[in-house]
Homo-oligomer: A and B are copies of this chain.
């Protein structure tokens, strides 16, 4: 190989960079070493003798632009990279922020700072909170979403449940993430029956209600399910980007034939956040990433239950759903997981009115009073969020 060709003379960068904030575990010396290694591992991942002088060494490598102690054993580093290393896909964004460094552990992504040029190439939500509220004609109060479960019910049983929920005037009804395309409950029959049941109840109440089936599987069947759901009258779609890849959410949000709001579910994303010194902080994992990928609503565990997530984490997720982010409209955070009426005030105090209550088992304590349980919850939410007289 001619020696001369190892200089990359044609390589040019705009100079515009995006940056990633990390929390690094260890002493000041450890943090410096880790930050310097990040600059290499997240770009060329090569030994020093393989990195040529010129544009690769001077511009392509990551750069530590801030490094400061949070505690003696924990440091905050901000590392920048050229925007030319991104390509408008979520998979390349994930690769760039933690793909290789994540294999070492003790490094956690805590924030992203993306120039508008980067955000505009990503899909972002098609509806956002405002667009979804326009669809539902619910301008201000928290939205209510009931859940179809349990797995094992027949399409007919789930449709009966959906009918009752819609008569109870909930705004959304979503499949539980466990519902897929099982021999005992086929996707197509379930979606057709549930969509029909919801439409029938909606005509009766005069209240709009969106049914969100869970679409899953490899990309071709995912797209086929999305198309069938649209045709059957679904009003939104539920997707698990941890299983499908975040790019699948982007693809659904981009499809012009599919004009439905998207709900992101955290299935199989747990490993990324459960350990506080590695992975990806909840605000990024459940806030920024689903929003950039095109989710209109993001579901995640609520603090105070069995999950290693704090009130502060949930507040930061909401902030990530709402902060200025290029042309991305704000999206809706959620209060999910054994949610009961007793937590309405607490959730509204934390999130304000722009959130979705996800209601699973609690609505069903009295199986013959589903409709009134939904209406009761709605009244309590309205009372909690109406302006005082």
List the interface of chain A (C-beta within 8 A of B).
1-3, 5-6, 8, 10-12, 37, 43-47, 49-52, 55-56, 60, 84-85, 87, 89, 91-92, 94-95, 98-106, 149-154, 156-157, 160-161, 163-164, 176-178, 180-184, 216-221, 240, 242-245, 247-248, 250-251, 266-272, 274-275, 278-280, 301, 306-308, 338, 360-362, 364-365, 367-368, 370
**B11 near A152 (CB under 8 angstroms)?**
yes
Q: How many copies does the complex hold?
A: 2
Q: Which of A151, A154, A245 has the most chain B CB atoms closer than 10 A to its own CB?
A: A245
Residues on B with C-beta less than 8 A from A46 are: 149-150, 176, 360-361
**Does B8 lie within 8 Å of A153, measured CB to CB?**
yes
Q: Given A105-B308, A150-B51, A268-B102, A180–B92 Cβ distance below 8 Å?
A: yes
In the complex, how many angstroms separate the beta carbon of A17 from the nearest chain B beta carbon?
A: 15
CB distance from A49 to the nearest CB of B (A): 6
Contact B243 A244 (CB under 8 A): no
- Shortest CB-to-CB span from A116 to chain B, Å, is 18
Q: Which of B1, B163, B267 is within 8 Å of A100, CB to CB?
A: B267
**Contact across chains for A164 and B307 when beta carbons are under 8 A apart:** no
How far is B149's CA from A50's CA once the two chains are assembled, in angstroms?
A: 8
Contacts of A274 in B (CB 8 A): 102-106, 275, 278-279
Q: Considering the complex of A and B, which 10 residue pairs feature the smallest CB-CB distances, nearest first? A: A102-B270, A105-B274, A219-B219, A47-B361, A44-B150, A56-B152, A245-B245, A218-B247, A103-B270, A91-B243
Which of B10, B87, B154, B247 has a CB less than 8 Å from the CB of A154?
B10
Could you tell me if B367 and A1 are in contact, using CB atoms closer than 8 angstroms? Answer: yes
Residue of B nearest to A370 (CB): B1
Inter-chain contact A243/B245, CB cutoff 8 Å: yes
Residue of B nearest to A278 (CB): B274
Q: Is the CB of B245 within 8 A of A248?
A: yes
A7 to B, closest residue via Cβ: B157
10 more CB-based (< 8 A) A-B contacts, given A106-B274, A219-B248: A10-B184, A44-B176, A47-B364, A85-B151, A103-B269, A104-B270, A104-B306, A105-B308, A218-B245, A270-B278
CB distance from A60 to the nearest CB of B (A): 5
